[in-house]
């Protein structure tokens, strides 16, 4: 089995070991890792959530899933339990919707399946310096503004409640 170019040798050896234990295709794990974080180059992957397993931005994250070995054990256990074989777009879609539950499950499934097929067929995925911006702080700010506006209109309604307008 050929190691994908974007995965370091030591990581790939661990992937092979854990995937063997759970009977999971290592290329499927590589596809998830590429989709989620470009194998640790983007977002939460930089701090240990290479597969995105157990990581939910803006929430309390269980550190027990942090680190490659924990990511692999958690993801492989879930995949071996919940995903039907063979690896087809239909089976990956069912897994995404019913088990993995990303934000956009069908888009996730399509992306992961296409990456999986590319890796399995020996295509080299381009490693870029692309960075994904963490928008969780901006989302918090937007939520604060929305809450402020809602409170404003509630207070305004309370102030105007007894007044009648004459036309």
Residue 21: other Cβ atoms inside 10 A: 13
Residue from 93, 28, 26 nearest 36 by CA: 28
What pLDDT sits at residue 156?
81
Beta carbons of 65 and 54 less than 8 angstroms apart? yes
Among 16-25, 43-52, 123-132, whose mean pLDDT is lowest? Answer: 123-132
Percentage of the chain modeled with pLDDT above 70: 83
Q: What is the pLDDT of residues 45-81, one digit of tens each?
A: 999 999 999 887 666 666 788 999 999 999 999 999 9
Residue from 91, 68, 89 nearest 19 by CA: 68
Higher pLDDT, 59 or 37: 37
């Amino acid at each position: 089995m050929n190691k994908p170019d974007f995965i370091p040798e030591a990581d790939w050896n661990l992937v092979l070991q854990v995937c063997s234990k759970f009977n999971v295709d290592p290329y499927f794990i590589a596809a998830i890792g590429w989709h989620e974080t470009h194998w640790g180059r983007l977002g939460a992957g930089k701090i240990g959530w290479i597969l995105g397993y157990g990581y939910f931005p803006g929430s309390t994250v269980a550190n027990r899933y942090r680190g490659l070995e924990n990511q692999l054990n958690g993801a492989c256990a879930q995949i071996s339990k919940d995903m039907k074989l063979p690896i087809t777009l239909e089976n990956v879609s069912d897994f995404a919707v019913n088990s993995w539950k990303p934000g956009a499950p069908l888009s996730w499934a399509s992306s992961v399946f296409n990456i999986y097929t590319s890796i399995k067929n020996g295509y080299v995925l381009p490693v870029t310096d692309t960075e994904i911006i963490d928008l969780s702080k901006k989302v918090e700010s937007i939520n604060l503004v929305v809450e402020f506006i809602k409170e404003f209109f509630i207070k305004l309604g309370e102030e105007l409640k007894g007044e009648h307008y004459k036309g």
